[in-house]
Structure 1
């Protein structure tokens, strides 16, 4: 009963995600809905078996359609994260190659079902000739290895994709709290946990016989995780990058026939110009400042500005801008602003847009919390 209730809730979330996809065409909604649908299908098959359906109706043919979903879920996990972390993501035709294995499995099962259905006495048995001799004896052990390998590879690719995204936004945005997508981190933790749980259960199952009761806890975990993923995926804004292109490559400033001395001199001049702009115009006070906006103010390209900051200031864009905000915060404290405003209020005036980002950045750049730093001033 708990599993049926959870599966029913997951189906409601699937309908909501598909409805929103039909209205807004967010690819991430469609991918997540399909991912949850496949997971729910596995849950339904297990629950029906747990209720004794397969034992009571021995001629049921459901075993032909209990296909390992891991080979389909793995690429869906990857493309869900990719659809959120890549600006203007579109699901291209070439991406269908990632689903060759699950599609082939469906075709294979339909083929052996068709063959077995033509054999005498098929209606009176649960599994036909090929299902027993080919599928259960040969293919199932092979699919265990294939499923494990596919999930391991795609989880590794997806974690790397997310890590690269986190590094990339630091090169483009000055406030990254709303773009860090901690939900995706949790999403990956959930599937990593399920993968490890299932792998351990599979290994144990090769040593001792695990029945429906022993496998109940994994299926309960899967059902709970599906609800969590569905709820967070539906209520979390995942389209922040849809209309923004922050793809760029650092680019050296072009200096025709430059000597090393000339190049160094020009680089120093560029660094000084950016520092002067930050002091004079104070663009860091804009909480939404990004690399493109600052590049326009400095009259350089995004790639050139990124190179100047990375090489000249030895920082990424995020740390560079926030270092000015931290210095502005320190200056306001010395002026006694804390007697009029809260520390968070001062932080907002300096260009920060969240308490979490402010506290983390301040600690990183000063080795003090904002409260400790204030105490060191008044003490």
Structure 2
């Protein structure tokens, strides 16, 4: 098991070097570097000293466990740096590290008072020694920190996802799906391990080593995945996006104070339809709400409102609906018989086979190949 932790620690330091060499280096990269250095040092120390730490050095063992309080804040702040434009942490964000500081302040005080030292015992279940109420309180906070931050991070990424689909027609490498999935999976597993820890301390089942090994094994896998994806992540230009819009059910409330009148909205909608049909801006695979707004001379917030309310779609689905319709026409057009389906998709504004197949199937209920076979008799001649 120690070898797994050492491999994870090596990967953390290796990814740190690679990420630090990136040019330009964004603020999110700096947070990720600090996060990986912490995770690498943490798992490495556990690999070398876990066998003696919890039995011979109770104060250090408790301080070591308190380091779990840093994992959640680093994860949340990294996600926050990905979806917002910032160059430094605010004072409010620094408060996330206060529980860690308070826990270790208590341990520092306890180490100087013999009566308190006896209550700081991470192996109390195995030794049948009652811990202090303060230690139990801080251990509870540490245990709950993981699930709480996993949940907060998922909520943050969910809001960002809404914003992405309201501003971009292509979400490849910017929708952070990988991070949402990673956080969700590890949040569930982390919570399951928390249940194991509670069972261990409440019913004397399992062992302390079993609990800590499980947590560090999970961290080891997390290190490898977060380092890999963080290294290959492309920059998300948050400054091109307005504040996140709510989902459809809440749009009426969002636009209640809008200055856009019904007649203006209908006029804008007609202007949008004509422009999409004549100029076909959707052929640009990287078309954004801001670019379409400039081309139409319609304020971005009004354009977004019209697309949401009049067309009943977010920007992503609105643009890709035109792309799918263009693909459908070309698939049935004899002029494009020498084109592969993927070639046609690239001509129509899609920039990857995976995205094209997923979107086409979602909007038509058929794969491109199935659609071509089904509608082969409807081919048009030009």
Residue 32 of structure 1 deviates from its aligned partner by 2.3
1:103 match:
101
1:223 match:
220
Quote the Cα distance in structure 1 between the aligned partners of 2:89 and 2:132: 37
Q: Which of 265, 268, 274 is the equivalent residue of 2:266?
A: 268
Bigger mean CA offset, 216-225 vs 200-209: 216-225
1:32 match:
32
Instruction: Give CA deviations for 1:76-110 in whole Å, capped at 9, x if unaligned.
Output: 11111111122346422221112211122222222
1:179 match:
174
- DSSP-derived class of the 1:174 partner: coil
Give the 5 Å matches for 1:64-79: 65-79=63-77
Q: 1:14 to 1:131 in 2, by over 3 A?
A: farther
2:313 match:
315
Note if 1:132 corresponds to 2:118.
Answer: yes
Q: 1:197 to 1:37 in 2, by over 3 A?
A: farther
Q: Any conservation in 2 of the 1:88–1:244 contact (CA below 8 Å)?
A: no
Larger Rg: 1
Quote the Cα distance in structure 1 between the aligned partners of 2:167 and 2:86: 16
Residue 34 of structure 1 deviates from its aligned partner by 2.9
Residue 344 of structure 1 deviates from its aligned partner by 0.8
Note if 1:169 corresponds to 2:164.
Answer: yes
* TM-score, normalisation: structure 2: 0.83
Residue 373 of structure 1 deviates from its aligned partner by 0.7
Note if 1:205 corresponds to 2:200.
Answer: yes
Q: Any conservation in 2 of the 1:171–1:317 contact (CA below 8 Å)?
A: yes
Bigger mean CA offset, 300-309 vs 83-92: 83-92
* Unaligned stretches of 5+ residues in structure 1: 117-127, 256-262
Q: 1:102 to 1:356 in 2, by over 3 A?
A: same
Q: Any conservation in 2 of the 1:87–1:244 contact (CA below 8 Å)?
A: no
Q: 1:4 to 1:331 in 2, by over 3 A?
A: closer
Quote the Cα distance in structure 2 between the aligned partners of 1:34 and 1:218: 20
Q: Any conservation in 2 of the 1:17–1:30 contact (CA below 8 Å)?
A: no
Give the 5 Å matches for 1:332-371: 332-371=330-369
Residue 319 of structure 1 deviates from its aligned partner by 0.9
Q: 1:54 to 1:359 in 2, by over 3 A?
A: closer
Q: Any conservation in 2 of the 1:69–1:102 contact (CA below 8 Å)?
A: yes
2:250 match:
none
Q: Any conservation in 2 of the 1:309–1:316 contact (CA below 8 Å)?
A: yes
Quote the Cα distance in structure 1 between the aligned partners of 2:142 and 2:58: 26
Residue 346 of structure 1 deviates from its aligned partner by 0.3
1 or 2 for the larger relative contact order (CA 8 Å, sep ≥6)? 1
* Unaligned stretches of 5+ residues in structure 2: 122-130, 246-253, 378-382
1:16 match:
17
Quote the Cα distance in structure 2 between the aligned partners of 1:54 and 1:317: 55
Bigger mean CA offset, 307-316 vs 33-42: 33-42
Q: Any conservation in 1 of the 2:6–2:43 contact (CA below 8 Å)?
A: no
Q: 1:68 to 1:220 in 2, by over 3 A?
A: same
Q: 1:318 to 1:106 in 2, by over 3 A?
A: same
Quote the Cα distance in structure 2 between the aligned partners of 1:351 and 1:59: 62
Q: Any conservation in 2 of the 1:309–1:320 contact (CA below 8 Å)?
A: yes
Q: Any conservation in 2 of the 1:194–1:222 contact (CA below 8 Å)?
A: no
* TM-score, normalisation: structure 1: 0.83
- DSSP-derived class of the 1:214 partner: helix
